[in-house]
Structures are given as structure tokens and as C-alpha cells.
Amino acid sequence: MEVSMNAAAAKQTIKQHFQSLNDEQLQQYHINHDYFTGRPLSQPMMPRDREVSAEIVKKQRNLKRMNEVLYPAPTLGSVLGDALAGLQLSDEPNNNVQSAILEKPSEDLVKRAKRWFNQYIQEGLASLLTTQSGRLTDANLAVIKRAFSHNTVLIQNVCSLSAFWIRSPLEWDGQAESTQGLFEHLFVQYEAPAFLKPCWSRVMDEQTVPWLLCYLMYVQGGSLKALVDVFGWTPASHKLWHQLFDCPAKLSPEHAVLYAEFKRLGGWDEDLACLMANEAYVIDLLAPVSEDSRDFWYDTCRWTISKQYEMSGEVNRKILWWARHQFTELARQGEQYRLQGRSLAKVLESLTQYEDEQASIARARARLAERGRQVSMARNEERDRLREQERLDRLEFMARRNAPYHYSDYELINLSWNERGWNWDLQAHGKQWRFVELTTGNELHEEGQIMEHCVGGYSQSCYEGHSVIFSLRCDNKRTLTIEIDPLTRDLVQVQGHYNADPKKSEYNVVKRWVNEVVHGRVYW
């Protein structure tokens, strides 16, 4: 019995010693052999490390530095600072030093804001926190953390912009619960638009930072006209900055700009609601993806405002959709579409004609679907009769295609074509993106139905090799529809729901796909 136990122990010991060797051999085998067939590979298939973007690394570095500032390892000095802040006691010489540090001439505000923003973009928040370490003392941090204990993001933003404190936290004599009092004590001299205050409770990023600095310009008397250039903003009118005071507090900054500009042009709330209900018109007016889209936005708004006494809300919504459809279709041909100079009657006539043509296409689809259902249930003789009828319908349909038409082509429904091999999957901006080529008329129809635009009518163009259509899905949700010129492989158009312009992050993903896949691969 004892011998068998010793033998088992010996086997276990030997197995443990050789386990690492077995694991290494197994790894080498999988590197050099196909996983499914076991056949040797011509080249070793080395495992690839997950690609980490520079943006993620920058955010991780910023967060690490922020945690080091706000929650350092306890020292005797930090403990005493917390105690003094809790008692609201500090030596008089220290107060004088803090006041001297925090005093900045107002005329230098814009210059400091530009310098702060450039450093944030180029080096990140970690560098700024190091630069501002003289203000982020243990005593100051203790006051801020105690007053804003319910809002961690607010604590981070207040500390990140400590370069713009106009008073020391140690000079604040309010109660611990009075967060508004401390915030105004640190930053505020004048009033600012109400919608900007909630920005301080949002995580700081490259989209939020410009609005935080705008808030500081308002409350400390800086010039917004002198600052916006550094953000890359191009406002249509500098009256915008005064109009923003009339915006409701619940609006986001981007929506507030749309609200202010529409009101500046003379629009009503009812017409604004119609505009905001259409995603294609909810664009960034200060830094648009396309200047043509912004010009179209202003042109359309001026036209609808001039007709606001003549149109109901329902008619307004239809015309907004129709105008955007015309704008995107003519843009493919290098032409522009504008409502200015067109009468309401002419626009409604064109819209009605387009709706009639789309209804005709829908009826044709319904007939074909019903015919298919009947064919699957009918006897062979009935099936042959229906197929003959379908053939005659197609002949009639092709004859109609040779006749002149105006806006919409009566599409072929069952067309299909070969794919180009440009499908692609990637991870970007923390999301999963997938480019899927649409290779049948039914797929185009489904895309047009879901995305609420007219790509369903591109079947003939794709079949004849004049267009290639892709659907971009973000986390398995349809996000954009993309058209590529198959000859030049250039990007023709990118449209979102209701023919809306893509967001900047989405457009960057599309450009990367075009550069790396469409232009980067050669197919014979």
C-alpha cells in the first residue's frame, strides 16, 4: 500500500515538473498548425495583443493623475490640512499668499484660456494638474471635497480649472452644504446662460471643455469672440453669444445653439419643434461636418420662417424631409438644392409627385410579395400561370423605364449583384463597428425603410456598377448608409437616419475604412 502511494506521489511530482513544458509545446503547436484541421501553417500565426488607442491611454493617464491629486497617500501635512479646513482655520500669512496667487488681471483671461486649452489638447489633463499643483493644496482640496462630496465629477472639473479661481477656497465662509455658494465663490463675477451650468457636472472631454471655458468667459468678463477661434468654431453671427441667454436651462449646448439661431432668425417654437424632430437638422452649427449642410440649414430655416403663417406643423415636417432628400440627391451630382426662391405651391406639388411615385413602388412590392405567397401554395399549373403573368408585368415595367421620369426611378425589386469584398469589422471609440455591403434590391429597400431615406431606389445603379452601397452598424445598430464610387473608390455620400449628417466620430470611422480597406486593397 505504501509503495503504491509513493508511486502516485512520484507521478504527480513528475507531472507538475513537466506541466510548464507541456503548456509551451501546446502553445507552439497551435501557433504553427491550423486550429480546426491540424495542418501545418506556412507561417506561424502569432497571437496579437489588443490594440489600445492613444485616446484611451490619454484618458487613463489623466484619470490616474486626478486620483493622485484628489486622493493622495495620507501624510502628516494632509491630515493637518484637512483638520484646518474642517475648522475653517488658517494662518493669516497663508491667506495672503493664497490671495496673491489667485489674483489675475481680467484682461489676461482670454490669453490664459487659450493657453490652458492648447495644453489640454496637446498634453492632456495630467500635465495641467501638475502645472496647477500650487493651488491644489491639501487644505484647498479638503474644502472642495467636503462641499461637493455628492458630486465627484464636479470636484474633478473644479480642480482641473483651478487656474481660473478668482478667490481661494480657504476664504469661503459658507456652510458645507452650500455647494452653489462655493462654486460661485471660486469662479463667478457675472451672469452666464443657464444651460451652461450643468456642463460642470459632465465628465470632462474635448467636447465639454470648450463650453466650460465659455462659461468662464461669461462669468469673468472675457471675450467670447476672441476665444472661439482656438476651438475651431465659426459662428454665423456674433449675436449668438447674447442670444444664448434666452435658451432654456434644460438644453444641451449644441441644442441651445440651434435654439438661439432659429430664434434669431425669427422662428416660432412650433416650427422649431418640427425642425428638432428631424435628425438631419440637428447639427453642430459651430463646427459642422459639412459647410454645405450648414448653409442648407440656414436657407431652409429662413424659408420655413417666411412661410410660417401659411403652413401647418404637418406640412412643415413633410417639407423639411423633402428638402433634405432633394439636397442629398442633388449633392451626388455636384449640384445644390435650396428652398429659397421657390413658392410653397411648387414645393408641395413636387412633394406630392414624389409621394405618388413612392406609393406606386410600395404597391408593386406588395403585389410581388402577395404573388410569391400565392405561388408557394399553388399547384404547378397555377404557378406557371402566375410566372407568365409576372413576366408580362416585368415587360410592362421595363417599357415604363424607357419612358421619361422626373424624380424617382421605378426600381427593379429582385436584382442582385456581386459584392466588392470591402466588408470590415473594427473596434473604435469603445464600440464595435461593422461595414456591410448591400448586394440585393431587397437589402436596399430594407435599409431605406429602417433609415428613413431613399437608398431603396438605388438598385439599378448598383446593378449596373455605378454605385456601391454599404450599411454601417454600430454595436449591431444601423447607423449610417454609405455610397462609394466603384470606379474611383471615392466616398460619394454618407447619410444617417432621415438623411442626417454623420457625427464626427462616425465620420472618422468611415474615413478610416475608406483609406485602409477601400483604397488599401486591390481586387482583380
Phi, psi of 231 (to 5 degrees): -85, -10
Cβ-proximal residues to 169 (8 Å cutoff; 6+ apart), any chain: 139, 140, 143, 144, 182, 185, 186
73 or 221, which is more confident: 221
Measure the CA–CA gap between 245 and 241, rounded to whole angstroms.
Answer: 8
Give the number of C-alpha atoms closer than 13 A to the C-alpha of residue 87, restricted to the C-beta side: 8
Number of Cβ within 10 Å of residue 182's Cβ equals 21
Lowest mean pLDDT among 29-43, 97-111, 291-305, 462-476: 97-111
Number of H helices and number of E strands within the chain? 21, 5
What is the structure's pLDDT at 196? Answer: 95
E-strand stretches of 412-451: 424-428, 431-437
Measure the CA–CA gap between 355 and 352, rounded to whole angstroms.
Answer: 5
Number of Cβ within 10 Å of residue 380's Cβ equals 7
Measure the CA–CA gap between 151 and 144, rounded to whole angstroms.
Answer: 11
DSSP code string of 228-259? HHHHT---S-TTHHHHGGGS-TTS-HHHHHHH
Per-residue pLDDT reduced to its tens digit, 325-344: 999 888 888 888 999 999 99
What proportion of the chain, given as a percentage, has pLDDT over 90? 36
What is the structure's pLDDT at 89? Answer: 42
Ordered by start, the domain boundaries in the chain are 1-47, 55-90+98-233, 244-342, 363-401, 424-518
What is the structure's pLDDT at 513? Answer: 94
Measure the CA–CA gap between 141 and 152, rounded to whole angstroms.
Answer: 12
Q: 8 pLDDT exceeds 60?
A: yes
What is the structure's pLDDT at 505? Answer: 86
Cβ-proximal residues to 237 (8 Å cutoff; 6+ apart), any chain: 261, 264
Per-residue pLDDT reduced to its tens digit, 281-297: 999 999 888 899 999 99
pTM given for the model: 0.68
Q: 73 pLDDT exceeds 70?
A: no
Q: 68 pLDDT exceeds 80?
A: no
How much is the average pLDDT of 113-120?
Answer: 92
What is the structure's pLDDT at 59? Answer: 67
How much is the average pLDDT of 429-450?
Answer: 89
What is the structure's pLDDT at 175? Answer: 56
What is the structure's pLDDT at 247? Answer: 95
Cell numbers describing residue 132: 496647477
Residue 99: band (very low, low, confident or very high) from pLDDT cuts 50, 70, 90: very low
Q: 275 pLDDT exceeds 90?
A: yes
What is the structure's pLDDT at 103? Answer: 43
- Judged by DSSP in three states, 100 sits in helix
What is the structure's pLDDT at 97? Answer: 38
Per-residue pLDDT reduced to its tens digit, 139-192: 889 889 888 888 889 999 999 999 999 999 998 876 544 556 899 999 999 999
How much is the average pLDDT of 302-314?
Answer: 92
Asked if 498 and 324 count as a contact pair (C-beta separation under 8 A), the reply is: yes
